[in-house]
Amino acid sequence: MTRGILAKPSQNSQALSNAGPPSLGPKAALPFSVADSNPMTEEQRAEPVSANQPPVSPEAALKEREIAIKAREVSLTARFQALSFVSAVLGACLAFFGTALVNWNQAAANRKLEEMKANENKDLERQKLEGNLILTFLADKDATARKENLLFLNRAGYIHLPDDLVKDIESGEQLVPRVDPNAVFGPPEGTAEPGTPLADLNRLKNRSEPPKPADFDSSVNLERMLNAIDEKALDQTRAATIQGYVLSVKKGGITTANMKSADLAKQDLNVVVAPSMQSGPSERVICVFTPRFRAKHTSVGDDWSLTALQNTLVGKRCKISGWLLFNFEHFRQSANNPQHSGPVWRGTAWELRPVTSIEPGE
């Protein structure tokens, strides 16, 4: 029987087996590298591979990819919302600053308009004042006095006459006519019907001549005026000087004595005087600056305007002189009237009206 398959190995085969693999020598190289035989990427080589890690199925890989896509969508949505918020904030800031800029421009325009109106009103008031001064001084019966007074007002800057007119007045080529003072402020009785008690009262209110030293009653002071109740308590043909604290200076408003004029330059200014700044209505005396005397004092440099009197008199103890007057129109509002009715805002119906001089104190 043949034993080819189980034949004993030959001696050469045995020798090769005992000698091991053949040596390639120090400079021998393999015909391929280990890296070339491994198809894994660099990232895959960097990841540790567990010997027991099961292979990833296609379904799991697809699921992971879906999760990654959703995570990216969430991230993009968050970024979009953040950008929307920032845009909204920037829009609000721009709207705020835009509105503020528009408001500031409007306020600046309004201020400029108010300044223009104020300047126009000042010019108008100055023109009215100049007109009143001119008419007041042109009421003098003496032609020489009218001329000198007019030139004095122009030199002092109270009025502004054209240079050619000034030269004509100085040379005598232009005569200065006389003007009736009633043309400026109206008749002394105002709009009251002549012959009535109100007409007589208005004539006393509109006295235009200052009292002489002999006209003053030295026995009259603030306390005596507050105690004077009726028309017979004092003499309306006399003048007086009182001292007290000025509580306020207010517009007299539209009255019959002043032709019911709405022009402040032709209205009264009421000065409230009392023994102290804490005095109540029952201790208050009214002193009235009439338009006729205000114009006269303005012509000699005294500022008897509403604002000037408020700034210089209120809160100070002052010495005030003027004609005595019993104003029966406000007798019912006087505290010393036993039959007073309505709101009581003054101590007596007796007034200094018109005020002819005032000395502010401390």
Domain boundaries, the chain: 75-179, 187-360
Residue 4 has what pLDDT?
42
User: In degrees, to the nearest 5, what angle opens at C-alpha 28 toward C-alphas 24 and 32?
Assistant: 110
Residue 268 has what pLDDT?
97
Closest CA to 251 of 235, 236, 237, 264: 264
Q: Which are the contacts of 245, defined by CB distance < 8 A and separation ≥ 6?
A: 273, 274, 275, 276, 277, 279, 315, 316, 317, 318
How far is the CA of 90 from the CAs of 87, 97, 100, 101, 137, in angstroms? Answer: 5, 11, 15, 16, 70
The helix, strand and coil proportions of the chain, stated in percent and rounded to the nearest 5, come to: 45, 15, 40
Residue 354 has what pLDDT?
97
Q: Which are the contacts of 181, defined by CB distance < 8 A and separation ≥ 6?
A: 135, 136, 139, 208, 292
How far is the CA of 108 from the CAs of 103, 115, 347, 354, in angstroms? Answer: 8, 11, 47, 44
Structure tokens at 105: 């421009």
Closest CA to 179 of 134, 119, 118, 246: 134
CA distance 179 to 166: 19
pLDDT per residue as tens, the chain (362 positions): 444 434 444 444 444 444 444 444 444 444 444 444 444 444 444 445 455 566 767 777 788 888 888 888 888 888 888 888 888 888 888 888 888 888 888 888 888 888 877 777 777 677 667 777 776 767 676 778 878 888 888 888 877 778 887 888 888 776 666 556 666 788 999 999 999 999 999 999 999 889 999 999 999 999 999 999 999 999 999 999 999 999 999 999 999 999 999 999 899 999 999 999 999 999 999 999 999 998 888 767 788 999 999 999 999 999 999 999 999 999 999 999 999 888 999 999 999 999 999 999 87
Residue 37 has what pLDDT?
43
Q: Is 20 left (phi over 0), alpha (psi -120 to 50) or beta?
A: left
Closest CA to 314 of 245, 233, 264: 245
User: In degrees, to the nearest 5, what angle opens at C-alpha 244 toward C-alphas 238 and 250?
Assistant: 85
How far is the CA of 300 from the CAs of 133, 137, 156, 295, in angstroms? Answer: 10, 11, 9, 9
Q: Would the pTM count as exceeding 0.75?
A: no
CA distance 251 to 271: 9
Fold classification of 187-360 (topology level)? OB fold (Dihydrolipoamide Acetyltransferase, E2P) (2.40.50)
Structure tokens at 57: 């199925």
- Phi and psi of 342, rounded to 5°? 75, -170
CA distance 140 to 181: 9
> What are the strands, taking DSSP E only, across the chain?
239-251, 269-274, 285-289, 317-326, 350-360
Query: 313 near 358, Cβ under 8 Å?
Result: yes
Q: Which are the contacts of 353, defined by CB distance < 8 A and separation ≥ 6?
A: 204, 205, 286, 287, 288, 290, 322, 323, 325, 327
Question: Can you name the residues that pair with 245 across neighbouring β-strands?
Answer: 274, 317
CA distance 350 to 240: 11
Residue 226 has what pLDDT?
97
